[in-house]
Every structure is written in C-alpha cells, then in structure tokens.
Amino acid sequence: MVDSYESIPTTEPNVSVGSGGDGGASSNRKIFIPLAVILAGLGIYLRGQSGDDSSPTVAQVIDEHELPEAEHWPKIITKINPNMNPNLDPNEGPFPYFLATNTAGVDGKGWKKSEDVPCDPMLGEEWLYNGERSSEHSVALYFTPAVGDGPGVLSAIETDYYGFVAEKLIGLFFGEEKTSKDGSYRSVSVALRNGDEENLCDKETPVAPGNPAYVTISPGMANMAVPVTENEVELKENGWQEGSCLPGMGYHWEKFIEPVEGLPYKAGDMVPIVPMYSTTDKSINGFFFAATSKKQHWPEECLEVGNPASPCAYGPGKLNMWDFSPGLLEESKGRFYMCSNFCGECEFTGTDDGWFTTMHFMFKNTFPLPGLPMSPDAEFCAPGRCRSGILPTKVDA
C-alpha cells in the first residue's frame, strides 16, 4: 500500500492514464514498478514464515482451520501492510497478511475474548489483542459466539482513535469517549453481519450460513450501509463520489457528511470509512479506516525511507496497527498524500496536524504475492487510475 500511493505521476498530472500514446503506458509503468517494490517486501515477509528458503504455500501462510466454512462471508480478511521485518518471529506480529475470520483461528495467537464485556447485538463478542485496549493495538475484532465445536465467525471490525477526532463525526460515526491505560479514545465500527436480521449473540444456535456480503458503518449511530457492489448510479445517488483506482486495492469511493461545493474538501466532513471495488466484477474488495491526524508514531528519520522492509519503524508503539507508512499528507505534495485516493480537482483542509492515517482491510487476496499462485482477485487497476482520465494535481508536480 505504501508504494501504491506513489503511483501518482509526477509530471503531466492531468493526462489520462488510458488515453493512448505513451501517456497511458508510462503511467502504468509508474504504477507497476513501485507495486513490485512492496510485493518484494511482502515476499520477504512470507518467506520468513515458511521456515526455510522455499516459497510458502497458502496453507503455510494461513492454517486450514483458520478459515470459516465456505458458506460464511467473509472467508478471508487480508491486512495491507503487515510487519514485514524478516528478522522478527512472524508469530509475534499482531497482523500477518492473512487474518483468521473465526475464533478457532485467532484464539491462542495473541487475541483474547473480552470476558467482562457484554456481547453487542449489532457487532458480536469483542476480542482484543493481548486481551486489553491499548494504543499499541488499535483494533478490536468481533465474532459471533462459538457454539459447541463450531467456532464463532467474524462479524465486525472496530478501530480505536486515540487523540484527535473531528467534532462533526462524534455521535454519528464515533461513540462515546473511553479510557484505556494509554489515555482516551473513541471508536468507529464496521459491521460485517446484519444484527437486525440475525442474533449475533446467540450462544445456543450457530449463526446461519449463506450470509450475503454486508458492510455497514457505525451500526446504532450513522448505520450507513455501504454497497457491496460498485453500482455507480446507486453510489452517486447516496452521496458517494468516485475516486481513483490503486493497485492491490481497486476503485475508491469517498463520501462527505456535508454537500461538497467546490474546494477545498473539509477533512472533518469526510466519512471515516472508504470502500474499494474490483475492476473486474465490481464486488467490494475491502475498505480502509481514515483518521484526520497521525495515529502512529512514525519516526521522523523514516519519513523518506522508500524500502517497505526497512527496520527503522519497527518496534512497540510505533505503527499501532495502522498502515505501514508515515501517513498521507493533507497537502497534495511529496510521496504520500490523501488526494491520491481521488480523481479530478482535490484539495483538503482541516486535519489536526496536516496528516491523514489509514488502516486497510481487504475481503480478498488482492495483492499478487511472490511465491504464491496468482490470486484470481489480484487487482491491477488496468487500464488506468481514473475513469475520467483526470488525475489529482500535485502542488509540487
């Protein structure tokens, strides 16, 4: 993901990526060359998990028992930007590339069910890394209860935002302020099963199989449904605007709670969840949590490091489970900036410190990983980043 954001052309920013001539070819080269860098980093990481010099198989990366029954959705979750340091024990990292989507897969791997927290009927049972809320582990996973020998299945993902949260989003997307050992935080949740139609807290009967793809932001507050298929008419009618396509991710769609009337975009008005869709079948690839301030503690000396496997940002309390990058600048300059997710004219104001931070979760294996069979869901974004042919303009281009 880090290098995918570097795919924005540094010259002729408004030339159509797929417009013919060399403009399209050179732009596509700019996409795939940096993509190869991050894939190489992922290859290093995965080879570290295989235990020898051979390339791992899918079975070596994620154990069979970690996958839910095929009739449950989502079958897998991938976390873009795992800790790719080949010198670390892969079992120590809280986020491998593939995340288990049932309780049998997470139990005993750092995740613990919160025994003193009641089941949330709209989310499920809460599981935390190391069993506690912490700014170093900013994610809670929710599962339906395990029943008999049947594990519970993933029902929601929640992320804690320590520090700044835009005021307009509180009570709409973010819940009440809470306190952990590391300070105060607010959380935003994404439900992956419909608590209005099934009992996510039933400890007697397993949840029914065959659940359809389902994504809803902040159930019980905004209760904002996210289309699971990219229908441009439906999305636009509901206030979403089409953004760019980035390798490994797909087409982004963004939404603001206030009507967008000219520039600049107000960071505090942006819905904190950004869905991404497949360029082939238009199904939802995944989504990312967006924060309007720095949520990790990325060392200043790492800001200009281009190698995704660089050790300079490793260690407790640095990434906090957010994406492996310094963040995205509010201003459209440099290598990492928020407008790279948009198309056409784009300008932001209103972040707390000039930065956005992101955390990506995918419902598919959208990155073609070295040493593994090519995933049918691999996302390349051909023929171009913006269907309109108009890329966001960099101020220092």
| Domain membership flag for residue 253 | yes
| Domain membership flag for residue 30 | yes
Q: Indicate whether 145 pLDDT > 80.
A: yes
| Domain membership flag for residue 383 | no
* Lowest mean pLDDT, pick from 302-306, 318-322, 324-328: 302-306
| Domain membership flag for residue 290 | yes
Q: Please give the residue range of the domain that contains residue 207.
A: 3-362
| Domain membership flag for residue 367 | no
Residues 297-319 pLDDT 10s: 767 777 665 554 556 666 665 66
Q: Say which residues have a Cβ less than 8 Å from residue 211's Cβ, sequence separation at least 6.
A: 72, 73, 193, 194, 198
Q: What is the number of domains present in the chain?
A: 1
Q: Indicate whether 121 pLDDT > 80.
A: yes
- Do residues 200 and 207 touch, judged by C-beta distance below 8 A? yes
Residues 355-390 pLDDT 10s: 999 999 999 988 876 666 778 888 999 777 999 888
pTM: 0.83
Place of tokens 């008999």: 148
| Domain membership flag for residue 99 | yes
Give CA–CA dist 332/348, Å, rounded. Answer: 8
| Domain membership flag for residue 397 | no
Locate all alpha helices (DSSP H) within the chain, ordered by sequence: 21-50, 58-61, 103-106, 232-237
Q: Indicate whether 188 pLDDT > 60.
A: yes
| Domain membership flag for residue 279 | yes
Compute the mean pLDDT over every residue in the chain, rounded to the nearest whole number: 79
